[in-house]
Amino acid sequence: MTVPAYFQTNTVYCGDCRDVLRKFPEKCADLIYLDPPFFSNQTYEIIWHDGYELRAFEDRWKGGVQNYVAWMVERIEQCYRVLKDTGLFYLHCDWHAGHYLKVECDKIFGYNNFRNEIVWCYSGGGIPKKDFPSKHDTIFRYSRSENYQYNPEYKPYTKGTIQRGRTQVKGKYFKAGLRKEGTPVTDWWTDIKYIHSPTDKERLGYPTQKSEALLERIIKTSSKITDVVLDPFCGCGTAIAVAHKLGRRWIGIDVSPTACNLMMDRMKKIGAKPRLVGMPMTEDDLRSLAPFEFQNWICQRLLGRVSRRRSSDMGIDGYSFEGYPIQVKQSDNIGRNVVDNFETAMRRRNAKKGIIVAFSFGSGAYEEIARAKLHDGFEIKPLTVKELIESRNRTL
């Protein structure tokens, strides 16, 4: 079989994993770890680790849980298609929709190929007043056949287990039934932390970030050196970072350009040489981005940073490399009122220079920019998305 040129390991793909995986050949991945957005009806806003990127991370699904499950099934089916016969699939979820997803996975992989329901227990976070605190996630483990990789992990016996395991024969004590390597790790994981603390050295600012220890256990027990590890909802890149450290080949996919940029930075810092495929580069690509992703793309293109204000930006979406305020509009034919509002925001910041980015500007906008310069001394640069795409020198 000839492998399509689009499929490459040690690569970060930007796009919907369903569409990206459709371009992959069948049975090309040895291990798939799926940590999709949970059906939690929460909205997260993120200030990334360096404070230069803001991303609203939405976990809302219109139409209820059935729409969410249908959305997930399309992507799990593609995971099944690209999983090798000897491969393993891990689906990380919680109580909101895990039971629905397991039923669908039983259909896709076959009921007999369900291997484990792993319960990952942790502490920290809030405590409800009327319910038992929810302090565990569920990880469903499936194979595609009876022939799959499993490298058991062991931990030391406790003193009590060692004492109970001794028997007396002719006045001597022997350890009965105790393995020299220790006791096998079971499907109940209580020894792996959940990243809660803002001072945690692993923390990158991603609210659903998983610890490297969790992925290390999954990858070590379920793959071997040079195997291909695939994470279709890669987020901040924990799975691929751990895979690289353990000598595996890897593929990360995420729909967010911001997340893909973060992954690229993270992989470079650990000595990888990642490729990046599918980042938005045309006007049509950028029109289809979510507003916060569009805002991030513009600020990155200007070598600047987004505003730290999480909401109600008061007319300023970011700041350029030189510190000038930036207003971002994902629309055409920007009018006089946008410029006028931006002037007000600049006055609040005591700024005399600023940048407005949009797909196009109307005559009223240019007239107001000229008036603001002549009468108020404001230097406002109207910059089109096309100019940003075509510009090789991204500084102003």
- Structural contact between residues 340 and 371, judged by C-beta atoms closer than 8 angstroms: no
Whole-number Å distance between alpha carbons of 26 and 364: 55
Taking the C-alpha atoms of residue 17 and residue 6, their distance in angstroms, rounded to an integer, is 14
| CA pair distance 268, 281, nearest whole angstrom | 22
CA distance 67 to 36: 14
Q: Domains in the chain and their CATH numbers? A: 11-149+187-277 (3.40.50.150), 283-390 (3.40.1340.10)
pLDDT at 205: 73
Examine the pLDDT at 237 and tell me if it is beyond 70.
yes
- Spatial contact of 391 and 355, defined as CB atoms under 8 Å apart: no
Mean per-residue pLDDT of the chain: 88
Q: Note the pLDDT of residue 177.
A: 63
Percent of the chain with pLDDT over 70: 87
Q: What is the DSSP letter of 334?
A: B
**Residue type present at position 7:** F
From the centroid of its chain, how far is CA 70? Answer: 21
Q: How far is CA 273 from the centre of its chain?
A: 19
Cα 136 vs. chain centroid, distance in angstroms? 20
pLDDT at 396 over 70: no
pLDDT of residue 195: 85
Exposed, middle or buried by CB within 10 Å (0-12, 13-18, 19+), for 214? buried
pLDDT for 209: 87
pTM here is 0.85
The dihedral through the CA atoms of 361, 367, 368, 373 has a sign that is positive
Q: Are the C-beta atoms of 342 and 358 separated by less than 8 Å?
A: no
Q: Is 91 helix (H, G, I), strand (E, B) or coil?
A: strand
- Tokens 């770890």 appear where? 33
pLDDT at 123: 85
Output the pLDDT for position 182: 87
With a cut of 70, say whether residue 394 has pLDDT above it. Answer: no
Q: What is the pLDDT of residue 201?
A: 86
Average pLDDT of the segment spanning 365-374:
96
Q: What is the per-residue pLDDT for 54?
A: 65
